[in-house]
Structure 1
C-alpha cells in the first residue's frame, strides 16, 4: 500500500521539546517514517454531563499503512459499566480506509463511524455521530481553550509517540432513546501518531524475574498497592478535571515509581489557575488512589499539584460512574474539588487484565 502523502513540512527533521508548538498541518495525517503496518494515528474526543453522571467518548485509530481504521463510540452512566450494560456502545475493527485520499481535517469515518470537521486549525472542531437504528446521536462542538500541549517523545509514557492534549469547551446534544440531553462541559481531546500495538519479537523479550517483588521499586505497604506498582506491566493512569476554562489540571501518574504509602508521582500535564496554564513540576506533584474493594476500580483520589512556577493546588475527587471494556481497570467520570470549586473529568486506569485480577484479589483477601 502507498504511504500517506501529507505536507512536506510534516517530514522535516527537527529537535522536538515540550515547548515545540504544533502547526496547522498537524490537524492532518502524518507520513510514517517507514512502511510499519502498526503506524497509527488517533483522534479522541470526550464529554460529560454531570447532572446525569454521564461520560462519553468518540475514538478512532487509523492504521494508515495497512489501510484500516478501528473506531468506537460509547456513553456510560451509573447504571452499568460493562459494554453490554452501557447506555450506548459500538465498535468497528479494521474497517477498510484509504488515508491516501482522506483528510483528517474533514473526515467521515467509514463503517458507520463519526465525522470530524476542523473549524479553526488546532482550536475548533465539529464532531457528529448518528445511529438511526438505535435512536442515538451525538452532536458536539469543541472550542479549544488553549493551544494543544505537547510532551517530549522519549519520556514515559510517550517513548515513541507524538502526543497532544487540549482542553476545550464542549457543547452540543446527546440523543438517546428519544431524549435530547444538552451537553455543556469542559473536557479533553487528544491525538497521537506513532507505531502502536506491534508484538515484541520473541527473541527480544527480556527475561522476567521469577519473583514479582523484584519488579517493585519501593517495596512495602499494603499488598494490593505493591502489586499495583510492579514495573513492566504496562500500567498507565491518566487523570484530569476542570471547573471551566480557568481552573483545573491534567496529569499522567507514574504508578510504577510510587512509594509504599501509595503516592505516585505525576508526569507531564498542567495546572491552570486564574486562567494561566503552566506545566506541572514532575518532582513535586503526586496522586494517591483509593480503590473500591468490590470492583477494584478507582473510588477516590487525593492529588497534590505543583507547577513549574511554584503554584500549588490540592485536589480531591471521587468516581461517579465507570466503563470497563476489557475486564481490567476502568475509565471513570470523576467529580473533583479544588480551589473552592467543583470540576469534572476522568480517571483512565489502564491495566493488563491478569495484572488487575491479581491486585483485586489482594484487595479482597480475607486472610
Structure 2
C-alpha cells in the first residue's frame, strides 16, 4: 500500500486479477449555494469487468426519491472505451473527464444531448490527502485510522479545491464558483458488507476548509459519529485530524438535518462547527448502496460555509432497520 500519492496515482491502478469487484472511482461534487443546487459527478470503473457505473445528479430541494431531484442519470453498465485512461476519458453517457495536471487540475464535461450539461474546471488548493500516509494522517496509527470502507478504500485520497464553470439544467445556465472536495479511490468493492460511513466537508473560503470521514452505528440511528480520517486545510497547509467526534440529528429516512462536530488537528487546535441541512437526495451510487446526501450550511467561529454530507447505508441493512422501526412502533402502540 503506497504511503504517498504520486502523479501516477491519477491513472488507473493495476487491479487484483482475482477480484472481479475491483473498482476505481472519481467523484467530483460541487454546488451553487445561492441556488442550493448540489451537483455530483461520479464514475466507478470495474476495470476487470471493463464496465463503468456512472451517475450524474443535480438537486436543489428536499427529494425523498431520485425522481424528485432536478436531474438524475444513473447508468451502471457503460462499456469502458478501448484503451481507456483515467487521465482522459469519454463515456457513452455524455461524461468526459480530463486530468490536465496529475492530482491537481481536472476538466469535467457532460452533455446529455437534451439541454443538460456541465462545464467546470477543478483546481486543487492542497496536496492529495492520503488516508494511509502516517505523515499526513495522524489517525493511521489508531484503530479508527485503519478504516478503509471495507477494502474499497485500499487506496484513497481526498482533496479540496476550487470549482469554476457552469451547469446548464434544461437550458437554464447556472454559474459554479465554489470551494468543494473531490476524491479518488481504488480497491475491491463488493456490493454487500461495507461498513456505514459519513463522508462530509465544510468550505468557508479558499483559505479554510474541513473534510472528515466518520463511522457510525446504524442501530443507534446513526446519531454518534466517530472520526476515522480527516483534515483542516488552512491557507494551503494541511493539518491532519488526530481526534474528533460528532452528533447528527436525522430527519425521517435518515437524512442529516443538523450536525455538530468537535475536531482536534495534529497541532492540538480544536475546531467546533455545526451544520444545517438545506437539501436532501438519496444517491444510489452503485447497486445495493444508498447515500443520504445533504447540501449543508456550516457555521464555525462566526464564519459561514457550505458542503456536502453523505451518509452511506446498504439496502439490505435499511430494510432490516425499517422493519425494526416498524416493530417498535407497533410495540409502543
TM-based fold match above 0.5: yes
Alignment-derived partner of residue 183 in structure 1: 176
Alignment of 1:151-162 (within 5 A): 151-152=131-132, 155-160=146-151, 161-162=154-155
**Pairing partner for 2:107 from 117, 123, 126:** 126
How far apart are the structure 2 equivalents of 1:30 and 1:360?
42
How far apart are the structure 2 equivalents of 1:131 and 1:363?
45
Given the superposition, is the C-alpha separation of residues 168 and 362 from structure 1 closer, same or farther in structure 2, using an over 3 Å criterion?
farther
SS in 2 for 1:84: helix
How far apart are the structure 2 equivalents of 1:271 and 1:112?
35
Unpaired runs of 5+ residues, structure 2, are 133-139
2:160–2:209 contact (8 Å) kept in structure 1: no
1:296–1:360 contact (8 Å) kept in structure 2: no
**Superposed displacement of residue 157, structure 1:** 3.2
Query: Does 1:58 pair with 2:38?
Result: no
Alignment of 1:144-293 (within 5 A): 144-152=124-132, 155-160=146-151, 161-197=154-190, 234-256=195-217, 262-282=223-243, 285-292=244-251
How far apart are the structure 1 equivalents of 2:116 and 2:245?
39
How far apart are the structure 1 equivalents of 2:291 and 2:249?
13
**Pairing partner for 2:27 from 24, 31, 44:** 44
- Point out the structure with the larger strand share: 2
Alignment-derived partner of residue 85 in structure 1: 68
Alignment-derived partner of residue 259 in structure 2: 301
TM-score of the two chains, using structure 1 as the length reference = 0.78
> How many residues of Structure 1 are paired with residues of Structure 2 in the alignment?
312
Aligned Cα RMSD in Å? 2.7
Query: Does 1:142 pair with 2:101?
Result: no
How far apart are the structure 2 equivalents of 1:88 and 1:62?
22
How far apart are the structure 1 equivalents of 2:274 and 2:325?
23
1:39–1:194 contact (8 Å) kept in structure 2: yes
SS in 1 for 2:322: helix
**Superposed displacement of residue 246, structure 1:** 1.7
Deviation readout 1:14-50 (Å, 9 max, x if unpaired) = x64xxx3211111111111324211111111100111
SS in 2 for 1:122: coil
SS in 2 for 1:321: coil
**Superposed displacement of residue 362, structure 1:** 8.3
How far apart are the structure 2 equivalents of 1:60 and 1:67?
13
Unpaired runs of 5+ residues, structure 1, are 1-14, 200-231
1:328–1:356 contact (8 Å) kept in structure 2: no
**Pairing partner for 2:89 from 92, 101, 107:** 107
1:334–1:344 contact (8 Å) kept in structure 2: yes
**Superposed displacement of residue 364, structure 1:** 7.2
**Superposed displacement of residue 81, structure 1:** 3.9
How far apart are the structure 1 equivalents of 2:45 and 2:203?
29
2:126–2:159 contact (8 Å) kept in structure 1: yes
Query: Does 1:26 pair with 2:9?
Result: yes
Alignment-derived partner of residue 11 in structure 1: none
- Name the larger-Rg structure: 1
How far apart are the structure 1 equivalents of 2:45 and 2:224?
36
**Superposed displacement of residue 295, structure 1:** 3.7
**Superposed displacement of residue 302, structure 1:** 0.7
Given the superposition, is the C-alpha separation of residues 363 and 173 from structure 1 closer, same or farther in structure 2, using an over 3 Å criterion?
farther
TM-score of the two chains, using structure 2 as the length reference = 0.85
